[in-house]
Amino acid sequence: MILRPQLQDIKIIFYYLGKIVIALGFLLFIPAIIGFLYKEISPIFDFLIASEICFILGFFLTISCRTDKDLSWMHGMIIVALGWLIAMFLGAIPLYLSNHFTSYLDACFETMSGLATTGLVLVQDLDHLSLAHNFWRHFIMFLGGQGIVVAAIAFFAKEASGAFRMYVGEARDERILPNVIHTARFIWLVSFIYLVLGTICLGIVSLKIGLPANKAFFDGACIFMAAFDTGGFAPYQQNILYYHSFAFELVTLGFMILGAINFNLHYALWTGKRREIFDNIEIQFLSFTIISLFALVAIDLTRFALYPSIDSMFRKGFFSLISAHTGSGHSTLYAVQFVKEWQPLALIGLILAMSIGGSVCSTTGGVKELRLGIIWKGVTQEVRRMMLPQASNIITKFHHLKEMILEDSMLKMALLVSLFYVITFWVGAIVGVFYGYPLLLSMFESVSATANVGLSCGITTASMPAVLKILYILQMWAGRLEFICIFVLIGFFIALIKGK
């Protein structure tokens, strides 16, 4: 029997959603300040209007649904799932007001792409978008990479129990510190320190290639937020290709890899546990899959002599592979080049890299290396069980921040989430084929959306069918939150209708 949610449940959910909306209202002041500094009058009002809407809605929800009840697991999951959708609708307002989007749906697509750190774009005439709006595109990527709810927890939460339930709902089930609020604050501390360092590094490189100082450091901040948060947005339509600099590409590559590493590993390295980088199963599998998949891509690119020099192979082939594998989505190629120049085997290599992704508790998407490692350990355990006497007690261990024993629950969850990803990949591909796109290219775009990568073979444009835009929004949303809280939300609505 399904129990119908009570009025108190709905009040708890909307009360905390109101807090998230208020937090978003404050964050909208930041691009407004950018507009003020660069004397962009119209964009300032775009963000102030959006901020005012957030405050009105947020205070209405918190006042009308005020409660002192703590969150249950159901509440936490639903708040996260709905919070991301509300953030998309509200965060899209200033982008739509910029007149650089053909519809509000396109602005919502761009916002979800930013929040989910995907990087697929529908903005029109990006090169002439205001600096305030451009900053907002990258800043929501910075927020989404660490997590909207993680941001709310870090700066507004007081109670750790309810905060942890929302933290887990945002596809983070590992705590760096014993207290989840301290964990959230550490994640933001690391991110802000890297933001300063990244902006300086990329800014200096931009100065070296001839950009003026204000433009160099603005671009540096934007590209860092997109690279570290494995998103792929850039201030210009040509993406990284705009800069025509090997040094710029190399620095960006480094930040993409940093963003794909578990925040727990960052903490271990910061506290002197440098051996962890060699022992950790995620890093071992990440290294293996990068080497293997680049070999696959390089063989195909070499076979057709597409990039004959080591320099061009690194800047086009290896950069694209790392961009795909880390979920960054930055590109030194035009989308049409994937279609007209890259052969199927190389594209399959990129699709596999995008689907795997980087580490758990990082800013990347995809199945993730830890789950891949757990599944592999599970397979080897079953092989050993078949080869050894029936009475043998088989214990499989692996190292992930500490020595861990493989449990059936770990294997079950790894297989379940991986299955959800694969099903979603195929759903998006089949819908793409229905609208007339080739299967391989449809799969490429579907995996890029679901795994929150952002590389495109040209399907994602403002002229693509509205159904496909909505589907990709749902894929980006579900892929970023890793499905479980989405199913809880669906179950909640079913319970409202059919519950007793």
Secondary structure in 3-state letters for 188-202: HHHHHHHHHHHHHHH
CB contact at 8 A, 417 and 367: yes
What is the percent of the chain with per-residue pLDDT over 90, rounded to a whole number? Answer: 51
The confidence band for 410, taking pLDDT boundaries of 50, 70 and 90, is confident
- The per-residue pLDDT for 463 is 93
- Residues in Cβ contact with 224 at an 8 Å cutoff, skipping those fewer than 6 apart: 194, 195, 198, 199, 201, 202, 255
Quick one: pLDDT at residue 45? 95
3-state helix, strand and coil shares in percent for the chain, rounded to the nearest 5: 70, 0, 30
* pTM, to two decimals: 0.92
Contact 34, 139 (CB under 8 A): no
Report the Cα 33 to chain-centroid distance in Å. 26
84-93, 130-139, 227-236, range with the lowest pLDDT: 227-236
pLDDT score of 392 more than 80 = no
- Mean pLDDT in residue range 389-408: 80
3-state secondary structure of 397: strand
Summarize pLDDT for 233-289 with one digit per residue, the tens.
Answer: 999 999 999 998 899 999 999 999 988 888 888 888 878 888 888 888 889 999 999
Region 439-468: what's the mean pLDDT? 94
Q: What is the pLDDT of residues 303-341, one digit of tens each?
A: 888 888 888 899 899 999 999 999 898 988 888 888 888
pLDDT at position 347 over 90: yes
**What pLDDT score does 352 carry?**
95
Q: What is the pLDDT of residue 156?
A: 54
Question: Going by C-beta distance under 8 Å and a sequence separation of 6 or more, which residues neighbour residue 290?
Answer: 321, 322, 325, 353
d(CA 114, CA 454): 10
User: Is residue 489 scored above 90 in pLDDT?
Assistant: no
Q: Give the mean model confidence (pLDDT) for residues 413-424.
A: 92
Q: What is d(CA 327, CA 321) in angstroms, rounded to the nearest whole number?
A: 10
pLDDT at 178: 60
State the DSSP H helix or E strand holding residue 404, giving kind and residue range, or none if neither: strand 403-405
pLDDT at residue 153 in the model: 59
Given a contact cutoff of 8 angstroms between Cβ atoms, the answer to whether 240 and 234 are in contact is: yes
Query: Quick check: 198 pLDDT over 70?
Result: yes
What pLDDT score does 294 carry?
93
Would you state the pLDDT for residue 154?
Answer: 54
Check residue 179 and give its pLDDT.
64
DSSP E strands, 111-155: none
* 97-106, 260-269, 346-355, 409-418: range with lowest mean pLDDT: 260-269
The mean pLDDT of the chain is 87
Q: Give residue 90's pLDDT.
A: 96
Could you tell me if 90 and 78 are in contact, meaning their C-beta atoms sit under 8 angstroms apart? no
C-alpha 262/C-alpha 187 separation (Å) is 10
User: Confidence class of residue 155 from pLDDT cuts 50, 70 and 90?
Assistant: low
What local confidence, expressed as pLDDT, does residue 158 receive? Answer: 53
Closest to 454 in 3D by CA, of 325, 317, 327, 321: 327
| 351-368 mean pLDDT | 89
Percent of the chain with pLDDT over 70: 92
Position 92 scores a pLDDT of 96
pLDDT score at 161: 52
Instruction: Answer yes or no: is pLDDT of 142 > 80.
Output: yes
Contact 102, 86 (CB under 8 A): no
H/E segment holding residue 386: helix 369-387
Concatenating the DSSP letter of every residue in 307-344 gives: S-SHHHIIIIIIHHHHHHHTT----SS-HHHHHHTS-H
pLDDT tens-digit series, residues 25-43: 999 999 999 999 999 999 9
Q: Please answer whether residues 73 and 484 qualify as being in contact, where contact means their C-beta atoms are separated by less than 8 angstroms.
A: no
296 pLDDT more than 80:
yes
Higher pLDDT, 105 or 161: 105
Q: Could you read off the pLDDT of 68-83 as tens digits, one per residue?
A: 777 777 888 888 889 9
Candidate from 178-187, 204-213, 262-271, 291-300 with smallest mean pLDDT: 178-187
Q: Pick the residue with more confidence: 271 or 126?
A: 126
Residue 249's Cβ-side half-sphere holds a number of Cα atoms within 13 Å equal to 23
With 80 as the cut, is the pLDDT of residue 228 above it? Answer: yes
Residue 463's contacts (CB-CB under 8 Å, 6 or more residues apart) are none
Mean pLDDT of 379-405: 82
The secondary structure of residue 439, as a DSSP letter, is: H
Confidence of residue 388 (pLDDT cuts 50, 70, 90): confident
